[in-house]
Amino acid sequence: MRQTVNFSAGPAALPEEVLQQAANEMLDWHGSGMSVMEMSHRGSEYMSIQAQAEADLRELMGIPSNYKVLFQQGGATLQFYMIPLNLLRGKASIDFVHTGEWSKKAIKEAKGLAKVNIAASSEDRKFTYIPAQADWRLDRDAAYVHVCMNETIGGVEFHWIPDTGDVPLVGDLSSTFLSSRLDVSRFGLLYGGAQKNIGPAGLTIVIVRDDLIGHAPAGTSQMLDYQAQVDNDSMLNTPPTFSIYLAGLVFQWLKRQGGIAAIEERNIAKAKLLYDYIDSTDFYANPVAVPDRSRMNVPFTLRDASLDAAFLKGAEERHMVQLKGHRSVGGMRASIYNATPIEGVQRLVDYMREFEKQNG
Amino acid sequence: MRQTVNFSAGPAALPEEVLQQAANEMLDWHGSGMSVMEMSHRGSEYMSIQAQAEADLRELMGIPSNYKVLFQQGGATLQFYMIPLNLLRGKASIDFVHTGEWSKKAIKEAKGLAKVNIAASSEDRKFTYIPAQADWRLDRDAAYVHVCMNETIGGVEFHWIPDTGDVPLVGDLSSTFLSSRLDVSRFGLLYGGAQKNIGPAGLTIVIVRDDLIGHAPAGTSQMLDYQAQVDNDSMLNTPPTFSIYLAGLVFQWLKRQGGIAAIEERNIAKAKLLYDYIDSTDFYANPVAVPDRSRMNVPFTLRDASLDAAFLKGAEERHMVQLKGHRSVGGMRASIYNATPIEGVQRLVDYMREFEKQNG
């Protein structure tokens, strides 16, 4: 294990094994004499890398055959625009569940293209819970229902899948991709940036059901049209080849860990370790409703905010970095994605206990 | 020098020194304990990397202070759509100079948003020359004039800058970025994918004059609006951080080579070596008008196309790879971007001579 534990919310820590392999192969991939980033995307070497990455992702997530996997650019933010562009299908409005900052950004971009209906919101309690489905006001004629499966800033996560009947469910998986088992068939579309659980920033993965492809309005840029992307196997233009290669290395690492079920078990244990300690003392606090707490992003505050700077300084001295909370929430945030070993979380808890003793 | 010489048209060979440095820093950038791809894009470490990359690019190209530099995603192909979206400014039409496959793609995307006027075309002679400006039919009311400064497939290149008066000139620099001196102030906007002379695929650089920013129509997605990108210093969402870091390493490598003037001299010598040999024999041929020949992409055919497979096989046995020509042109293509050493070109010429002796 590396000495430094990196709690960044994203771009986030990657598995050490993956980074080591990427370094080893940097000048010569499998005897080709080339770095992966120097390969033509139309050549057999690179084509095999991308095909393997897709196959491994399909296996890991159990993606049904009537779903396409797209490797895109532009981050989730470009998808906030592309999804309504492609999925409106002549309908007038979209249902959104508003659970925090990332829902808000998705809503804002969709408003340029459609009427937005806020089917449910947790703004009344500062986005510290997931609204129960019984309270949602869904519209049967909506083009789709959009949920953000995990909010990195607020630290709230869906641990269940909403039932939206015949209306397609769209999920932003950016910060919870591959962290727990998920029934893909319950969704019409899943998407997310790679920079938390998958690989470097600059790669976006879209998983979309066949019947939702091919509905972009006439005149849509090919780059923004899922049908054109599908027709070209995500190679309408040069894809972000090196990022897809790294994602593929992460998928293989995940398989070596035992797949999603095994990593989910580890993620549950990691989150429990940290939340249990926070709940055991009033020196630290997490404001999120217990059943909706994120396993990926754990925001917490110190009782006395004037100690924040000292806490962060001590953490850095102990090689625990990027713990500062988002400015809108304050305090600290420990992001503990798939690549964070449980030993790293234990080190944080040990330090939190020590800091409390000295300052409590 | 690595044993393998990589003539890929893109993604293309990168400087060996840069790949070595990236490998060395992969697990720990400058003692931070993190890989660059694991750093928050809002943290001081990464912010310094991006700022340095921009400063070095500005210095190398002599970019005037009234131009913004944007680090984008989506490749030149997304710019084919974003440029008309942002630069139409209420005008009805765009002037295009049609010099080959990449001009054609740019024209196709622009047609979704505006009237396109083909001010000049070299289609009459299969895109083997650059039309002389005296023959262009420019429209004074055009929103801008678009040229592709180098066509990778046909192997034709502008070695001069058109004069478009008060109408902004827009140049696709994808395959000629940083390969020769260029007066940026003659352009309204320059853009290009990174995957030839700059870095890995997945990064697009846009250099745009201040007065052309801020004209996207109301309701445009923020991701597609230059003003929103400028307002957020290319960090509207997470930028492709690792690709920008690698681009920065390439910029520093270029400075160590003596900058653009020095690399241009080497590129002239490399191209001369190859074209002189092709012109010295009728065993090989290049169809492009001599003054318009590309210094970056050298397509050539064998007199007897039935020898193509044997030529490629012999080249691979000698560790010269990715020489196969584009299917639309046939034959061979040697792409000799900045990172290709002159020794690599000499090895190719030596092999071509040997192959001719055995088969001529």
Tell if the CB–CB gap between B200 and A37 is shorter than 8 Å.
yes
Read off the pLDDT of each residue in A3-16 and give the average, rounded to a whole number.
95
- Residue range A42-76, pLDDT digits in tens: 999 999 999 999 999 999 999 999 999 999 999 99
From CA B228, how far away is CA B230, in angstroms rounded?
A: 5
Name the minimum distance, in Å, from the CA of A11 to any CA of chain B: 5
Residue of B nearest to A32 (CA): B4
User: What are the structure tokens assigned to A16, written together?
Assistant: 């050490």
A-chain residues near B202 (CB < 8 A): 73, 202-203, 239-243
Do the Cβ atoms of A221 and B39 come within 8 Å?
Answer: no
What percent of chain A lies above the pLDDT cut of 90? 97
Question: Is A102 labeled as catalytic in the residue annotation?
Answer: yes
- Phi, psi of A15, rounded to the nearest 5 degrees: -60, 135
B322 vs A14, A43, A240: nearest CB: A43
Q: Tell if the CB–CB gap between B321 and A33 is shorter than 8 Å.
A: yes
Q: Is the CB of B236 less than 8 angstroms away from the CB of A322?
A: no
Judged by CB atoms closer than 8 Å, whether chains meet at A11 and B236 is answered as no
Provide the number of CB pairs (under 8 Å) joining chain A to chain B: 216
A136 in active site: no
Question: Both ends of chain A: CA-CA distance in Å?
Answer: 31
Q: What is the structure's pLDDT at A186?
A: 98
Q: Which of B26, B43, B221 sits opposite A81 (nearest CB)?
A: B221
Split chain B (360 residues) into runs of 10 and give each run's mean pLDDT.
92 97 97 96 96 98 98 98 98 98 97 97 97 97 98 98 97 98 98 97 98 95 97 96 98 98 98 98 97 98 97 98 92 98 98 96
Contact A149, A173 (CB under 8 A): yes
pLDDT tens by residue, B238-269: 999 999 999 999 999 999 999 999 999 999 99
State whether B223 and A74 contact (CB < 8 Å): yes
Best probe of the A interface among B28, B38, B322, by most A CBs < 10 A, is: B38
Q: Which structural domains are found in chain A, ordered by start?
A: 17-256 (3.40.640.10), 258-359 (3.90.1150.10)
Cβ-in-10-Å burial (0-12, 13-18, 19+) of A163 comes to exposed
B35:A26 CB<8 A: no
User: Could you read off the pLDDT of A192-249 as tens digits, one per residue?
Assistant: 999 999 999 999 999 999 999 999 999 899 999 999 999 999 999 999 999 999 999 9
Q: How far is A215 from chain B (nearest CA, A)?
A: 16
- Averaged confidence pLDDT in chain A: 97
Which tokens hold the place of B145?
Answer: 């004039």
Catalytic residues of B: 102, 172, 196
The CA distance from A261 to the nearest CA of chain B, in Å, is: 25
Say if residue A259 is exposed, middle or buried (CB neighbours under 10 Å; 0-12, 13-18, 19+). Answer: middle
Token reading at A348: 């944080």
Other C-beta atoms lying within 10 Å of the C-beta of residue A328: 11
Predicted local distance difference test score (pLDDT) of residue A165: 96
Give alpha helix (H) positions in chain A.
Answer: 16-24, 44-61, 75-87, 101-110, 226-231, 241-256, 259-279, 308-317, 342-359
3-state secondary structure of B342: helix
Please state, in angstroms and rounded to a whole number, the distance separating the CA atoms of residues A121 and B194: 42
pLDDT at A1 over 80: no
Task: Look at residue A157 in the predicted model and tell me its pLDDT.
Answer: 98
- Cβ-Cβ contacts under 8 Å, B18 against chain A: none
Strands B5-6 and B320-321: parallel
Contacts of B357 (CB under 8 A, 6+ apart): none
Beta strands in B111-268 (DSSP E): 115-121, 145-148, 150-151, 156-157, 169-172, 189-193, 204-209
- Closest residue in chain B to residue A10, using alpha carbons only: B40
- The pLDDT of residue A159 is 98
Nearest-CA distance B202 → chain A (Å): 4
Give the active site residue among A29, A95, A196, A253. Answer: A196
Are the beta carbons of B221 and A109 separated by less than 8 Å? yes
Closest Cα of chain A to B85: distance in Å?
11
Chain B residue with the nearest C-alpha to that of A323 = B40
pLDDT attached to residue A2: 86
Subunit contact A11:B37, Cβ cutoff 8 A:
yes
List, for residues A343-360, the tens digit of each pLDDT value: 999 999 999 999 999 998
Q: What is the pLDDT of residues A99-126, one digit of tens each?
A: 999 999 999 999 999 999 999 999 999 9
> What pLDDT is attached to residue B219?
87
